[in-house]
Amino acid sequence: MKKIMSFLFLPLLLLMLLFVTACGSSQDSTGQTELPQFDVASVEQAFSSRSSSASPSEEMDGDINQALQDEEDSRDKSLQQQKDQIVGDYIFALSLEQQLHGLAGKWKSQEEVYQFYRQGFSDTLALNLTDYSWSDSMGLISTEPSMFLPDSDVHILEVDLDHNIASVWHLTSSSEQHVWGTSDYTVATLHYEKGQWKIYDTDHRNQLPKR
């Protein structure tokens, strides 16, 4: 009977030892059991930071979009500068005839007059204007003006930077209509030549020019 009781008691004793050992390993020096401690604030902060920060793919998309926007803005700025130069060079060309006659005593030869007009016009137009303004026997002659500054804004009709060609239009000035009886709208074609836009052709129309 004693042998049977010992046999039954031994497993129970081992189980109790294992339990005491496990409890002892989880107790601190005061004998109290330590439970895992969680810093709730830190966990919430980490989760919030993770959820609020952009993923690498989102950041990359943002960088690409910004680069594309910057490139588009740069292109637009460059095109606007080109348009401003086209209008400025066009006005400059139209003013050359008035400047020429304002310096009447300066011109000594037909070539000088031609080179002066060549600043704003094609070779053909510069020759035509020179023939109109110069006489071999008289030098610079007084004529009705052939070029008139516009009374209204100059509008860009088309710009082809690949071929260095542009066209503009504006209302024909009242002075030009009075002198020459031209139509209501003036259209000019310009070519970019040696850093400047020069007039290569002019035309007058009765209807508003369209692209």
Give the chain's mean pLDDT. 82
What's the token pair of residue 113? Answer: 């007059």
**DSSP annotation of 27:** B
Query: Global pTM?
Result: 0.67
What is the per-residue pLDDT across 57-70, written as a single tens digit (0 to 9) for each? 767 777 777 767 76
What's the token pair of residue 175? Answer: 């002075």
E-only strand ranges, the chain: 134-135, 139-140, 155-160, 165-171, 185-193, 196-205
What's the token pair of residue 193? Answer: 């030549």
Instruction: Give the pLDDT of residue 8.
Output: 46
Measured between alpha carbons, how far is 190 from 37 in angstroms, rounded to an integer?
A: 81
Rounded to an integer, the average pLDDT of 21-27 is: 50
Judge whether residue 93 has pLDDT over 80: yes
What is the per-residue pLDDT across 36-48, written as a single tens digit (0 to 9) for each? 454 555 545 554 5
